[in-house]
Chain A
Amino acid sequence: MTDPKTNDPTPGLNRRAVLKGAAAAVGAAAGSGAVTGFPTIWAQNIKDVTLRQFGTGVSNLNAIADQVKKDLGFTLRMTALDSDSVTQRAVTQPDSYDIADIEYWIAKKVFPTGALQPMDVKKIKYYDQIVPIFTTGKLTPDSVVAQGTAPSTVGFVEGPGAKTFAKAPTEWMTLIPTIYNADTLGIRPDLVGRPIANWKDILDPKFKGKTSILNIPSIGIMDAAMICESAGIIKYGDKGNMTEAEIDTTIATLIEAKKAGQFRAFWKTFDESVNLMTSGEVIIQSMWSPAVTAVRAKGVPCVYQPLAEGYRAWGGGLGIGKNVKGLVLDAAYEYINWYLSGWCGAYLNRQGYYSACLSTAKQHMSADEWGFWMEGKPAASDILSPDGKLLEKAGAVRDGGSFEERMGKVACWNAVMDKDRYMVRKWNEFIAA
């Protein structure tokens, strides 16, 4: 087997011959239906590949890189950035990465610039088993596609090189879904002193100075929309794509609440939200599910409260950079197929996220784990995190219940609006007010 990286060929072989050999090997690998499983025929070759992945911290986990090295043999190098930097890097430096681990709303910004190449679903081994939220958009045949940048609306393009999204599933996927969840408000059940059932409860004067929302405009505006609609202040045409008038009303409501002293603080990072909740500065706020787990891990009661209006969902996936080709491209497909093949899905599910290919993840989880995380059943024994820390004692039930109960009640997805720039300007007014 030849090594494509050899610059100094052995005597008797000239450089051209070596490269030719390498190309043939790659061609053979690619042509042989590379998706039939792994390790595949060019295993020795692929060990030299380093896949450069970047994305938000949420799924850039070292454990995944380690497992890739073990299962596939090649190196996965990960860079974690915040979601704004991710968007920027995806667009402006397409040569600096092979795999972009981005959220669907980011894809809506990035894909039209041509920085990513669509993926051939024929090469995705578990395509048929991907949760239908990401293909048809419907969890069950009779569910409605939620508002906002629903993954199914930006999940496909018509063909290689296309930059506009397809209305229905095609052969070419923009991102392979990896991780997603349904977000809601986190509360301190010991301090709120009353049942919390709606998004509008965050505006209750009783909680004055004890609430917080997140200060990331594209996500914060969605939480704000859920709150305003719940309070009966406004009814949106599409929360994920507001008109200027809708943005004005939403921001005016927020400013009014801020001036009345309703908010204690605004948070931008995961840790800030955990600290606000643990210290008791805040008793009801927008939260992400691992933050709730982190608060509980400190022995402080915290509930990820299901609300009548439903959840705000988000989802991420892996995309391939536009200039990735040859052996690296094969490795990228290999990695993506591995991602959906179960180990990784189980790893993510055990952290309270959801994986895109549930059937394979199930095989890597115990019946008890599956029952707790996915079916909303009481845990039969203690529930541990992937690194062995105690998350929940036996008998606990997941907040919000089963996968269907939670993902079936998604009211909107994180979104980019057409009036994005206007919205950001108004949001800055809210922070400065």
Chain B
Amino acid sequence: MIARLAPYLQAAPLALILGAFLLLPLAAIVAVSFWDYDSVQIYPDFITLNYVEALGSWVTWKTYLNTLKFVAIVWAITTVVGFLVAYFLAFHVRSATMQMVLFLICTVPFLTSNIIRMISWVPFLGRNGLLNTTLVELGIVPAPLEFLLFSEFAVVLAMVHLYVLFMVTPIFNSLMRIDRALIEAARDAGANGWQTLTNVVIPLAKPGIAIGSIFVVTLVLGDFVTVRFMSGGQSASVGLMIANQISLLQYPAAAANAVALLALVLLMVAAMLRIVDIRKEL
């Protein structure tokens, strides 16, 4: 009897935690997304108006498009940068000690809060900021560059800065697990450096790239604080739209948007898992 129960008991703690802290809140969000509301209260009900209003408005579509644009740009940049950094660490740095030291240096900025890391761009990029002052003093540009701050450029810059480590770490991990003999074998078989990279290293790094991509894509999709601060409130993202609705007490509308966003995130993660079978390759 005990023996038969044992696997259930072993699974119970995780099931309870996931049930209480993931499934229940999710169920609550889904339920509330069908409720009615006015400016101060929400009322239990079953209406689809929240979805109709959310999906029927051009603001929503434009905001989703804008968010997806950020996702695409930030993902492309972090993947390239992340791969280059990880490749350097894994293949060019010879000693294991040095590898760890350099990797830890990569993580140093992440010891501060991500809000602080983001906000510190503001005085740097501003009209009278460090960068603009330097450029103007050196005579490189005649007047301060306005696009540096409170623009989409600033949003992308801050996001890349904030999220690139989520790409570096899993790729670095994947690269470290590549058997060095495979690279030697490739060279023995006559492959040049580029062919080794594209035929051996990148395919074997795929799980790392996939895991990093899941992190970056979900983080950017859900982001609101970076978009708000770096665009000076002038640009919209889905997360920001939800945050605005919550602050205006429109919980059902926010819940409906959250459900739509969740569906989008799940779709994108599913698509990535279709391309790379993480479980098989790990």
> A residues within 8 Å of B by Cβ?
82, 84-85, 87-88, 91-92, 109-110, 113, 209, 212, 215, 217, 258, 263-268, 275, 279-281, 416, 420-421, 424-425, 428-429, 431-432
Contact = CB atoms under 8 A, between A and B. Distances in A.
26 contacts: A82-B247, A84-B247, A84-B248, A84-B249, A92-B41, A110-B40, A113-B40, A113-B41, A265-B150, A279-B123, A279-B129, A280-B127, A280-B128, A281-B126, A281-B127, A281-B149, A281-B150, A416-B39, A424-B248, A425-B53, A428-B241, A429-B57, A431-B233, A431-B234, A432-B63, A432-B241
Interface string B30-62: 000000001111000000000001000101001
Contacts of B236: 431-432
B40 A91 contact: yes
B38 A421 contact: yes
Nearest to A84: B247
A255 to B, nearest CB: 11
Contacts of B234: 258, 263, 265-266, 431
A265 B232 contact: yes
B59 A429 contact: yes
Contacts of A265: 150, 231-234
Contact of A264 (B39, B128, B232): B232
B122 interface: yes
Given A84-B249, A109-B39, A209 B233 contact: no
A110 B38 CA distance: 12
Contacts of A425: 53, 57
A92 B57 CA distance: 29
B146 interface: yes
Contacts of B249: 84, 87-88
Given A82-B247, A84-B249, A432 B59 contact: yes
B174 to A, nearest CB: 39
User: Could you say which interface size class chain B belongs to?
Assistant: 20 to 34
B199 interface: no
Interface of B: 38-41, 53, 57, 59, 62-63, 66, 122-123, 126-129, 146, 149-150, 228, 231-234, 236, 241, 244, 247-250
A431 B233 CA distance: 7
Contacts, number: 74
A267 B233 contact: yes
List the 3 closest pairs (A to B, CB-CB), nearest first.
Answer: A265-B232, A266-B233, A432-B236
Nearest to B240: A431
B41 A217 contact: no
Given A84-B248, A281-B149, A266 B232 contact: yes
A263 B126 CA distance: 15
Contacts of A258: 234
A215 B229 CA distance: 12
Contacts of B122: 275
B35 to A, nearest CB: 14
Contacts of A280: 126-128
B185 to A, nearest CB: 54
Which of B122, B123, B249 has most A Cβ within 10 Å? Answer: B249
Which of B40, B146, B236, B244 has most A Cβ within 10 Å? Answer: B40
A421 B241 contact: no
A265 B154 CA distance: 13
Which of A88, A109, A267 has most B Cβ within 10 Å? Answer: A88
B36 to A, nearest CB: 12
B57 to A, nearest CB: 8
A92 B37 CA distance: 13
B233 A268 contact: yes
A279 B127 contact: yes
Contacts of B241: 428, 432
B64 to A, nearest CB: 10
Nearest to B61: A432
B39 A217 contact: no
B150 A421 contact: no
Contacts of B248: 84, 217, 424
Contacts of B38: 421
